[in-house]
């Protein structure tokens, strides 16, 4: 693997001669459709807000910004530490249980963050079982007799989000480690470098593009989370957006706050991209040597085992175990007459959105690569920032263009055929699917862009020399290399749409429910027991895809057990 200062885009186009090939035109059309709701939100932010903005600036906005920054920094550092560290251990170190940890570390990805917060609040609050056991054991009578961490706090929110979001870093970083050249790591061994120095001096710098994408996704998810911060009464920008919109009934003011949260993400991404503006990372060989894992001593093996086990226990086993107990005890209350219908609706929406998002993300990323035009690149990146906008605010941006399209279509059919079409778009699952694509395109585009950035342009040139069209080059050359990244994008979108709540509540048709809305109806009233079965169904829907994803990722590089070293 080498670093180059040359751009990999092929074929190159001069900025003055804008290309009009199908890939470029298609990319622009898709980007425009996806960007339409984002533009609607920005336009809404410029409309009059009845003085609410000046009131926010003079009262709560500084506190919103401060709390949001602390939350982002805390979650970013914690998820990076857990995700990158565990990815390195299971990929390039040899210790007992690593084969299980490869897929088990992804399991928290299937549990919604707000469900994790509900579970831990239920078991750690003053009336919960943990503090009751401590009081009985030590003879404490009241809360003044002892100190116990407050779960409903900023630190508690950082912990809950970290447990649910670290798989983003683990997933993308592990793919990067698997795709690195074993010869570089072997060179480190020959030079006497141990696992830590090889990690910090070689593996981590080369994995930087994937790490950046993972951190960006985590920060966006942190900004967009509402269930956890609302349940913990944490005053963030997202909580302020919902308060201004729902409680103050001021959509323009909410959109203005949304632009502030958007500025956080764009600033961070801009600084990072500028810092590596002259660096590209390519894979220069098509065949890999199998990796010889770093041997660990017995003590280090125990630490590695514990380091990988702890996130799984805290992020998955405890929440899932509590939900399983509640679902068993309150089975009849949980299994309502429409439960199976909600499950079917969730699976249909999630599968449809995941497939479309993966294909469109790959199409846009490849279209930008072929064009090499900065206008197309800017349009693609702008279209993928919907993930940074809170789902409820973005839902208004989705409703606006769809409502206008419905009105235009209805007027056309009435004037020509005398037939009223009604709400064909904004009143159907098309609106939800459209909203999911706008919201989660960043996942598929980011992973596809990161995967394509590692493929040298020489492969495109060789395919062109052999008479292959761009489409054949993508299918026969790039797709086999990118299948791990594409599957990663599809799984991420599938799991996230299963958990998505605010946008589903606002865009769903009348009497159309999903598992997320079903859980919310009970959990919002702190009836966690009655919502446990629905929450478990969301978790179960994500477990099998996560396991299959882990197996696919592991096969991205040939491995042979005979080449692995074991600890004496």
Q: Residues 488-514: pLDDT tens digits?
A: 788 878 888 888 877 887 788 878 888
Secondary structure of the chain: what % helix, strand, coil (to 5)?
A: 75, 0, 25
The answer, yes or no, to whether residue 535 has pLDDT greater than 80, is yes
**Looking at the structure, do residues 110 and 230 belong to the same domain, yes or no?**
yes
Helix 515-523, helix 339-371: angle, nearest 10: 120
CA dist 97 and 304 (Å) reads 10
C-alpha to C-alpha distances, 410 to 120, 416, 428, nearest whole angstrom: 50, 10, 15
Confidence of residue 557 (pLDDT cuts 50, 70, 90): low
Q: Residue 241 burial by CB count (10 A; 0-12/13-18/19+): exposed, middle or buried?
A: buried
Please give the backbone phi and psi of residue 94, each rounded to the nearest 5 degrees, phi first: -115, 115
CA dist 84 and 97 (Å) reads 18
Q: Give just the sign of the alpha carbon dihedral 89, 93, 96, 97.
A: positive
Give 268 or 123, the one with higher predicted confidence: 123
Q: Find the range with the poorest average confidence among 44-58, 147-161, 296-310, 504-518.
A: 44-58
Q: How many other β-carbons are positioned within 10 Å of the β-carbon of residue 200?
A: 12
Confidence of residue 185 (pLDDT cuts 50, 70, 90): low
Query: Could you tell me if residue 554 is inside a domain?
Result: no
Annotate 113-132 with DSSP letters as a single string: HHHHHHHHHHHHSTTSHHHH
**Looking at the structure, do residues 307 and 194 belong to the same domain, yes or no?**
yes
CA dist 351 and 353 (Å) reads 6
**Looking at the structure, do residues 181 and 120 belong to the same domain, yes or no?**
yes
**Residue-range definition of the domain harbouring residue 99:** 56-278+290-333
Q: Where are the alpha helices (DSSP H) in 7-97?
A: 22-45, 52-58, 61-92
Query: Are the C-beta atoms of 68 and 223 separated by less than 8 Å?
Result: yes
Query: Could you tell me if residue 42 is inside a domain?
Result: no
Give the pLDDT score at 237: 85
What torsion do the CA atoms of 473, 474, 480, 485 make, to the nearest 10 degrees?
Answer: 150
Give 340-365 pLDDT, tens digit per residue. 888 889 989 999 999 999 999 989 98
CA dist 115 and 379 (Å) reads 35
Query: Which of 512, 528, 553 is at the close of a domain?
Result: 512
Q: Residue 337 burial by CB count (10 A; 0-12/13-18/19+): exposed, middle or buried?
A: exposed
Tokens 């649910």, located at residue: 164
Query: Could you tell me if residue 285 is inside a domain?
Result: no
Give the pLDDT score at 8: 43
Give the pLDDT score at 434: 92
- Number of domains within the chain: 2
Over residues 105-130, the mean pLDDT reads: 88
CA dist 49 and 61 (Å) reads 15
Query: Are the C-beta atoms of 497 and 447 separated by less than 8 Å?
Result: no
Annotate 95-114 with DSSP letters as a single string: -TTHHHHHHHTTGGGGS-HH
User: 319: which 2 tokens?
Assistant: 């929440």
Query: Could you tell me if residue 550 is inside a domain?
Result: no
User: 390: which 2 tokens?
Assistant: 């809170």
The 8-class DSSP code of residue 4 comes to E
C-alpha to C-alpha distances, 37 to 221, 383, 391, 399, 403, nearest whole angstrom: 19, 9, 11, 8, 12
Q: What percent of the chain is predicted at pLDDT more than 70?
A: 83
Q: Where are the alpha helices (DSSP H) in 125-224?
A: 129-138, 154-178, 182-190, 195-198, 204-206, 208-224
Q: Residue 225 burial by CB count (10 A; 0-12/13-18/19+): exposed, middle or buried?
A: buried
Confidence of residue 328 (pLDDT cuts 50, 70, 90): confident
Give 221-261 pLDDT, tens digit per residue. 888 787 788 888 898 888 887 788 767 877 778 778 877 87
Tokens 């690195």, located at residue: 180
Query: Which of 464, 494, 512 is at the close of a domain?
Result: 512
Query: Could you tell me if residue 534 is inside a domain?
Result: no
User: 537: which 2 tokens?
Assistant: 């169904």
**Looking at the structure, do residues 322 and 455 belong to the same domain, yes or no?**
no
Query: Could you tell me if residue 531 is inside a domain?
Result: no
Task: Give the largest CA-CA distance in the chain.
Answer: 83
**Looking at the structure, do residues 181 and 324 belong to the same domain, yes or no?**
yes
CATH number of 32's domain: 1.10.3720.10
**Looking at the structure, do residues 24 and 86 belong to the same domain, yes or no?**
no
**Looking at the structure, do residues 175 and 142 belong to the same domain, yes or no?**
yes
Query: Which of 463, 481, 512 is at the close of a domain?
Result: 512
Query: Could you tell me if residue 129 is inside a domain?
Result: yes
Query: Quick check: helix, strand or coil at residue 295?
Result: strand
Query: Could you tell me if residue 521 is inside a domain?
Result: no
User: 364: which 2 tokens?
Assistant: 């846009």
User: 417: which 2 tokens?
Assistant: 């055929």
**Looking at the structure, do residues 309 and 424 belong to the same domain, yes or no?**
no
The answer, yes or no, to whether residue 454 has pLDDT greater than 50, is yes
User: 269: which 2 tokens?
Assistant: 């991404």
What torsion do the CA atoms of 315, 318, 323, 326 make, to the nearest 10 degrees?
Answer: -160
Confidence of residue 194 (pLDDT cuts 50, 70, 90): low
The 8-class DSSP code of residue 293 comes to P
Q: Find the range with the poorest average confidence among 52-56, 112-116, 128-132.
A: 52-56
Confidence of residue 192 (pLDDT cuts 50, 70, 90): low
Query: Are the C-beta atoms of 386 and 42 separated by less than 8 Å?
Result: no
Give the pLDDT score at 511: 80
Confidence of residue 122 (pLDDT cuts 50, 70, 90): confident
Give 280-304 pLDDT, tens digit per residue. 555 554 455 555 566 777 888 899 9
Over residues 389-394, the mean pLDDT reads: 75
**Looking at the structure, do residues 390 and 427 belong to the same domain, yes or no?**
yes
Give the pLDDT score at 282: 52
Annotate 488-544 with DSSP letters as a single string: HHHHHHHHHHHH--HHHHHHSPTT---HHHHHHHHHTTT-HHHHHHHHHHHHHHHHH
Region of 192 on the Ramachandran plot (φ > 0 left; ψ -120 to 50 alpha; else beta): left
Query: Are the C-beta atoms of 160 and 117 separated by less than 8 Å?
Result: yes
**Looking at the structure, do residues 21 and 61 belong to the same domain, yes or no?**
no
**Looking at the structure, do residues 312 and 423 belong to the same domain, yes or no?**
no
Give 506 or 115, the one with higher predicted confidence: 115
User: 295: which 2 tokens?
Assistant: 């041997």
The answer, yes or no, to whether residue 127 has pLDDT greater than 70, is yes
Please give the backbone phi and psi of residue 282, each rounded to the nearest 5 degrees, phi first: -125, 155
**Looking at the structure, do residues 268 and 326 belong to the same domain, yes or no?**
yes
Kind of pairing, strands 280-282 and 93-94?
Answer: unpaired
């Amino acid at each position: 693997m080498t670093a180059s200062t040359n751009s990999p885009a092929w074929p190159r186009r001069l900025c003055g001669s804008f290309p009009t090939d199908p890939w470029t035109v298609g990319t622009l059309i898709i980007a425009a459709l996806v960007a339409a709701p984002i533009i609607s939100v920005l336009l809404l932010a410029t409309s009059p807000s009845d003085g609410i903005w000046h009131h926010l600036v003079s009262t709560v906005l500084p506190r919103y910004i401060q709390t949001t920054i602390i939350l982002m920094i805390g979650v970013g550092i914690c998820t990076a530490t857990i995700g990158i560290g565990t990815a390195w251990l299971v990929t390039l170190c040899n210790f007992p249980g690593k084969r299980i940890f490869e897929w088990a570390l992804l399991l928290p990805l299937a549990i919604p963050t707000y469900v994790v917060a509900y579970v831990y609040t239920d078991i750690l609050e003053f009336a919960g079982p943990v503090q009751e056991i401590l009081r009985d054991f030590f003879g404490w009578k009241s809360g003044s007799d002892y100190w116990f961490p407050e779960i409903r706090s900023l630190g508690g929110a950082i912990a809950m989000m970290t447990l649910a979001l670290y798989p983003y870093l683990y997933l993308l970083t592990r793919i990067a480690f698997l795709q690195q050249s074993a010869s570089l790591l072997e060179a480190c061994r020959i030079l006497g470098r141990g696992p830590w120095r090889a990690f910090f001096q070689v593996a981590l710098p080369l994995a930087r593009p994937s790490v950046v994408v993972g951190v960006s996704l985590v920060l966006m998810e942190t900004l967009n989370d509402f269930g956890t911060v609302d349940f913990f009464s944490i005053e963030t920008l997202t909580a302020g957006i919902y308060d201004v919109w729902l409680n103050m009934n001021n959509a323009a003011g909410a959109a203005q706050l949304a632009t502030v949260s958007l500025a956080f993400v764009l600033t961070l991404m801009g600084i990072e991209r500028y810092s590596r503006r002259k660096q590209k990372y390519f894979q220069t060989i098509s065949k890999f040597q199998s990796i010889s894992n770093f041997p660990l001593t017995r003590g280090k093996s125990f630490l590695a085992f514990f380091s990988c086990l702890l996130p799984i226990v805290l992020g998955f086993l405890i929440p899932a175990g509590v939900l399983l107990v509640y679902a068993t005890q309150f089975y009849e209350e949980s299994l309502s007459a429409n439960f199976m219908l909600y499950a079917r609706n969730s699976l249909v929406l999630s599968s449809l959105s995941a497939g479309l998002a993966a294909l469109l993300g790959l199409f846009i990323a490849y279209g930008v690569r072929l064009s090499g035009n900065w206008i197309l690149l800017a349009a693609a990146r702008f279209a993928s920032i919907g993930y940074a906008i809170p789902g409820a605010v973005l839902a208004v941006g989705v409703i606006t263009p769809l409502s206008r399209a419905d009105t235009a279509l209805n007027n056309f059919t009435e004037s020509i055929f005398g037939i009223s079409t009604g709400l064909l778009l904004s009143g159907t699952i098309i609106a939800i699917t459209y909203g999911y694509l706008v919201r989660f395109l960043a996942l598929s585009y980011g992973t596809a862009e990161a995967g394509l950035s590692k493929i040298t342009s020489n492969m495109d040139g060789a395919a062109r020399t052999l008479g292959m069209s761009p489409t054949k080059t993508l299918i026969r050359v790039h797709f086999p290399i990118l299948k791990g990244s594409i599957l990663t994008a599809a799984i991420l979108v599938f799991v996230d749409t299963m958990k998505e709540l605010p946008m589903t509540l606002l865009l769903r048709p009348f009497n159309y429910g999903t598992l997320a809305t079903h859980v919310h109806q009970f959990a919002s009233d702190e009836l966690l027991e009655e919502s446990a079965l629905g929450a478990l169904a969301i978790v179960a829907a994500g477990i099998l895809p996560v396991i299959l994803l882990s197996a696919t990722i592991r096969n991205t590089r040939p491995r042979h057990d005979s080449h692995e070293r074991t600890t004496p």
